[in-house]
């Protein structure tokens, strides 16, 4: 039996929510280990749509323990609101089924202010303006307010002063009004009752689960190409999104992760700015976007769409530590006469077999395509290989060859059960 980490292997929005929800039926504990409420997962269960931004996807399943790890930056207001929205949909989230790491850094309103200010200037990177980046900056700058700090309001004023010494200096630099310490303290006192019942030592809970031979599922947000080290920097998120972060972001040893499942779309999308070698700024891109409902869960932003890029995914398989992939949204490609797959790059007229780290070079990359016959039959809702058109199977097999990784799961619609299991990741 192997614990499983699920990560995105492109630029995010690959359908991790559905896959994690599907796998959580086989898990006892589901852990979110990085990111913030800038990422969204959409689940469709028995016709009901659940949109999650911070809570682990497994929280909608009865009897599962949900965990928000120390690698996540937590906006307590967003968390309370999300718990409330799930309650309205009949899902009960209580301290009995959710634990938030006591050593998780908090996102405060001042972080959102700074994020928004940057996104309206020359530093704009296309963030969600949710304060995630500034919160991570404070975390590594050792001035963050953490969840555990809400336990003692006698010590909070000194910590707030330390935080504001940095933020007010930034605000003075842009001519913004300084923040008063008493205002921050009042905000924290108001929200504390909503989050304090949930916080605890996540590392210990996970160790107890391990010793009890329970299955643990680690759920990542964003994707490898948005990793702050291994992604298309600077158009990345502010955390590590690779599987190695599952250990650091939750307090378990890396040897406790037995299998890494990379989620991969049958085509490619990305939100925001940055390089995108296979982007189709034409009718093909529009068709993929409309059929795939390619709009952000959190922001509603339209996603850029293009053909599958095997060079990029082959690279993320390595840097992400992926053992096998879940291929999603195959049904979006139904009806195409032919489908193109990027199998190589040209950089300044020369062959190039990986995406370089330099942003200037990334922008000059030209894709080299292989054309694959499409299929007219529908793959939507297929739950076995026998229900797939022959050319769809050939497409899947060709992707396996090009990325040097096997397909463990195949998703053919947003519905939970429209999934073909090839290999159970929990078996390692």
Q: Is 138 a catalytic residue?
A: no
Two structure tokens written together for 98: 């959710």
User: Which member of 37, 41, 111, 230 is catalytic?
Assistant: 41
Which residue in 201, 141, 145, 203 sits closest to 170, CA to CA?
Answer: 141
CB count, 10 Å around CB of 208? 11
Helix axes 109-119, 156-173, angle to 10 degrees: 20
User: Which member of 13, 21, 115, 418 is catalytic?
Assistant: 13
Which residue in 41, 45, 38 sits closest to 7, CA to CA?
Answer: 41
User: What are phi and psi for residue 142, nearest 5 degrees?
Assistant: 65, 35
CA distance 29 to 63: 9
Q: Is 255 a catalytic residue?
A: no
What is the number of alpha carbons within 13 Å of residue 106 lying toward its C-beta? Answer: 25
What's the chain's length in residues? 428
CB-based contacts of 357, cutoff 8 Å, min separation 6: 233
Pairing of strands 338-347, 366-373: antiparallel
CB-based contacts of 310, cutoff 8 Å, min separation 6: 341, 342, 343, 399, 402, 403
What letters, b where the CB count within 10 A reaches 16 and e where it falls short, cover 96-125? ebbbbbbbbbbbbebbbbbbebbeeeeeeb
Tell me the C-alpha to C-alpha distance, in Å, between residue 18 and each of 57, 265, 387: 8, 13, 21
Which residue in 294, 262, 340, 180 sits closest to 10, CA to CA?
Answer: 262
Counting Cβ atoms within 10 Å, is residue 360 exposed (0-12), middle (13-18) or buried (19+)? exposed
CA distance 341 to 408: 20
Active-site residue set: 13, 41
């Amino acid at each position: 039996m192997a614990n499983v980490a699920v990560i995105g292997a492109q630029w995010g929005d690959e359908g991790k929510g559905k896959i994690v929800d599907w796998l959580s039926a086989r898990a006892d504990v589901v852990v979110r280990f990085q990111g913030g409420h800038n990422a969204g997962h959409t689940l469709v269960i028995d016709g009901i749509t659940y949109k999650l931004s911070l809570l682990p996807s497994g929280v909608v399943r009865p009897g599962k323990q949900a965990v928000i790890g120390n690698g996540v930056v937590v906006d307590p207001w967003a968390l309370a609101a999300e718990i409330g929205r799930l309650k309205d949909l009949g899902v009960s989230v209580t301290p009995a089924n959710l634990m938030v790491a006591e050593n998780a850094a908090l996102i405060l309103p001042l972080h959102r202010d700074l994020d928004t200010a940057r996104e309206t200037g020359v530093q704009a990177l296309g963030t969600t303006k949710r304060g995630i980046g500034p919160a991570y900056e404070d975390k590594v700058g050792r001035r963050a307010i953490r969840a555990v700090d809400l336990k003692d309001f006698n010590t909070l004023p000194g910590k707030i002063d330390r935080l504001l010494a940095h933020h007010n200096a930034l605000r003075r630099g842009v001519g913004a009004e300084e923040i008063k310490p008493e205002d921050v303290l009042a905000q924290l006192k108001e929200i504390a009752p909503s989050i304090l019942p949930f916080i605890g030592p996540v590392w210990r809970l996970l160790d107890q689960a391990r010793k009890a031979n329970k299955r643990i599922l680690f759920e990542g947000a964003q994707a490898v190409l948005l990793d702050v080290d291994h992604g298309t920097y600077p158009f990345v998120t502010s955390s590590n999104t690779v599987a190695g972060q599952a250990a650091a972001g939750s307090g378990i040893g890396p040897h406790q992760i037995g299998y890494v499942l990379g989620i991969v779309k049958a085509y490619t999308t990305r939100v925001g700015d940055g390089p995108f070698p296979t982007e189709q700024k034409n009718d093909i891109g529009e068709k993929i976007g409309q059929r795939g409902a390619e709009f952000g869960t959190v922001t509603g932003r339209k996603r850029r769409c293009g053909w599958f890029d095997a060079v990029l995914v082959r690279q993320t398989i390595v840097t992400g530590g992926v053992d096998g992939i879940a291929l999603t949204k195959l049904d979006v490609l139904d009806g195409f006469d032919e489908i193109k797959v990027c199998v190589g790059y040209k950089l300044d007229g020369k062959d190039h077999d990986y995406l370089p780290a330099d942003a200037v070079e990334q922008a000059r990359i030209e894709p080299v395509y292989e054309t694959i016959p499409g299929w007219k039959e529908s793959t939507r809702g297929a739950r076995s290989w026998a229900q797939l058109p022959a050319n769809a199977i050939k497409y899947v097999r060709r992707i396996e060859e090009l990325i040097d990784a096997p397909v463990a799961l195949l998703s053919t619609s947003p519905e939970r059960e429209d999934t073909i299991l090839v290999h159970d990741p929990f078996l390692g």
